A and B are shown apart, each in its own frame.
Chain A
Amino acid sequence: MEITGNKKGKREFQQSLGFVALQMCLLAVIISLGVLLVFIFVKGIGVINPDFFIKFPEDGMSSGGIFPAILGTLLLSLVAVFFAVPMGVLTAVWLVEYSTSYKMVRILRIGINSLAGVPSIVFGLFGLAFFVKFMGFGPSLLSGGLSLGVLILPTVIRTSEEALLTVPVSFKEASLGLGATRWETVYRIILPNSISGILTGIILSVGRAAGETAPILMTGATFFTMRLPNSLFSEVMALPYHIYALMTEGTHPNQLAIAYGTAVVLMMLVLVINSIAIYIRIMARRARQW
Chain B
Amino acid sequence: MSEEPKITVRNFNAYYSGKMALKDVNIDIPENKIMAMIGPSGCGKSTFLRSLNRMNDLIEGFTVTGGMMIDGKNIYDKDVDVTKLRRNVGMVFQKPNPFPKTIFENIAYGLKINKLCKSRDELSGKVEESLKEAGLWEEVKDELNKSAFALSGGQQQRLCIARAMVVRPEIILMDEPTASLDPISTAKIEELIQELKKSYTIVIVTHNMQQAARVADRTAFFMLGEMVEYSDTSVMFTKPEKKITEEYITGRFG
Please list the residues of chain A having a beta carbon within 8 angstroms of any beta carbon in chain B.
100-102, 168, 170-171, 173-181, 184, 188-189, 193, 288-290
Cα separation A19 to B55 with both chains bound (whole Å): 50
Q: List 9 A-B contacts (CB under 8 A).
A: A174-B98, A174-B163, A176-B55, A178-B164, A179-B86, A179-B167, A180-B113, A184-B113, A288-B100
Q: Is the CB of A176 within 8 A of B167?
A: no
Contacts of A179 in B (CB 8 A): 83-84, 86-88, 110, 113-114, 167
Cα separation A101 to B53 with both chains bound (whole Å): 22
Contacts of B53 in A (CB 8 A): 177
Interchain residue pairs A-B with the least CB separation, the first 6: A179-B87, A170-B97, A177-B91, A178-B110, A289-B149, A179-B86
B122 CB to nearest A CB, Å:
18
Cα separation A102 to B109 with both chains bound (whole Å): 31
Question: Can you name the residue of chain B whose Cβ is closest to the Cβ of A181?
Answer: B83
Q: Is the CB of A171 within 8 A of B99?
A: yes
B contacts with A, residue count (CB < 8 A): 27
Q: Is the CB of B60 within 8 A of A174?
A: no
Q: Report if B1 contacts A (CB, 8 A).
A: no
B109-132: contact bitstring with A at CB < 8 Å (1 yes, 0 no)?
110011000000000000000000
B74-114: contact bitstring with A at CB < 8 Å (1 yes, 0 no)?
00000000011011101101010111100000000110011
A41 CB to nearest B CB, Å:
43
A102, A174, A289: the one contacting B97 at CB < 8 Å is A174
Q: Report if B26 contacts A (CB, 8 A).
A: no
Contacts of A175 in B (CB 8 A): 99, 109, 113
Cα separation A180 to B100 with both chains bound (whole Å): 17
Given A102-B60, A184-B113, A289-B147 in contact, is the A176-B86 Cβ separation under 8 Å?
yes
Q: Report if B184 contacts A (CB, 8 A).
A: no
Cα separation A5 to B33 with both chains bound (whole Å): 67
Cα separation A105 to B167 with both chains bound (whole Å): 35
Cα separation A177 to B163 with both chains bound (whole Å): 10
Cα separation A171 to B93 with both chains bound (whole Å): 10
Please list the residues of chain B having a beta carbon within 8 angstroms of any beta carbon in chain A.
53, 55, 58, 60, 83-84, 86-88, 90-91, 93, 95, 97-100, 109-110, 113-114, 147, 149, 160, 163-164, 167
Cα separation A223 to B84 with both chains bound (whole Å): 61
Cα separation A206 to B24 with both chains bound (whole Å): 56
A170, A181, A288, A289: the one contacting B95 at CB < 8 Å is A170
Q: Is the CB of B58 within 8 A of A176?
A: yes
Cα separation A171 to B106 with both chains bound (whole Å): 11
Question: Can you name the residue of chain A whose Cβ is closest to the Cβ of B175?
Answer: A173
Cα separation A178 to B116 with both chains bound (whole Å): 12
B137 CB to nearest A CB, Å:
20
Cα separation A175 to B108 with both chains bound (whole Å): 12
A176 CB to nearest B CB, Å:
6
Contacts of A176 in B (CB 8 A): 55, 58, 86
Contacts of A193 in B (CB 8 A): 100
Question: Can you name the residue of chain B whose Cβ is closest to the Cβ of A172?
Answer: B58
B248 CB to nearest A CB, Å:
28
Cα separation A179 to B95 with both chains bound (whole Å): 19
Contacts of A290 in B (CB 8 A): 100, 149
Question: Can you name the residue of chain A whose Cβ is closest to the Cβ of B61?
Answer: A102
Cα separation A89 to B182 with both chains bound (whole Å): 41
Contacts of A289 in B (CB 8 A): 100, 147, 149
Contacts of A171 in B (CB 8 A): 97, 99-100
Question: Can you name the residue of chain B whose Cβ is closest to the Cβ of A180?
Answer: B113
Question: Can you name the residue of chain A whose Cβ is closest to the Cβ of B112?
Answer: A188
Q: Is the CB of A188 within 8 A of B60?
A: no
Q: Is the CB of A180 within 8 A of B83?
A: yes
B12 CB to nearest A CB, Å:
20
Q: Is the CB of A168 within 8 A of B113?
A: no
Q: Is the CB of B55 within 8 A of A189?
A: no
Q: Is the CB of A178 within 8 A of B90?
A: yes
Q: Is the CB of A188 within 8 A of B55?
A: no
A86 CB to nearest B CB, Å:
25
B175 CB to nearest A CB, Å:
10
Question: Can you name the residue of chain A whose Cβ is closest to the Cβ of B97?
Answer: A170
Contacts of B60 in A (CB 8 A): 100-102
A192 CB to nearest B CB, Å:
8
B84 CB to nearest A CB, Å:
7
Question: Can you name the residue of chain B whose Cβ is closest to the Cβ of A168?
Answer: B97
Given A170-B95, A184-B113, A188-B109 in contact, is the A177-B55 Cβ separation under 8 Å?
yes
**Among the interface residues A175, A176, A179, A180, which one has the most CB atoms of the partner chain B within 10 A?**
A179
**Among the interface residues A170, A178, A193, which one has the most CB atoms of the partner chain B within 10 A?**
A178
Contacts of B110 in A (CB 8 A): 178-179
Cα separation A138 to B111 with both chains bound (whole Å): 53
Q: Is the CB of A173 within 8 A of B97?
A: yes
B111 CB to nearest A CB, Å:
9
Question: Can you name the residue of chain A whose Cβ is closest to the Cβ of B83?
Answer: A179
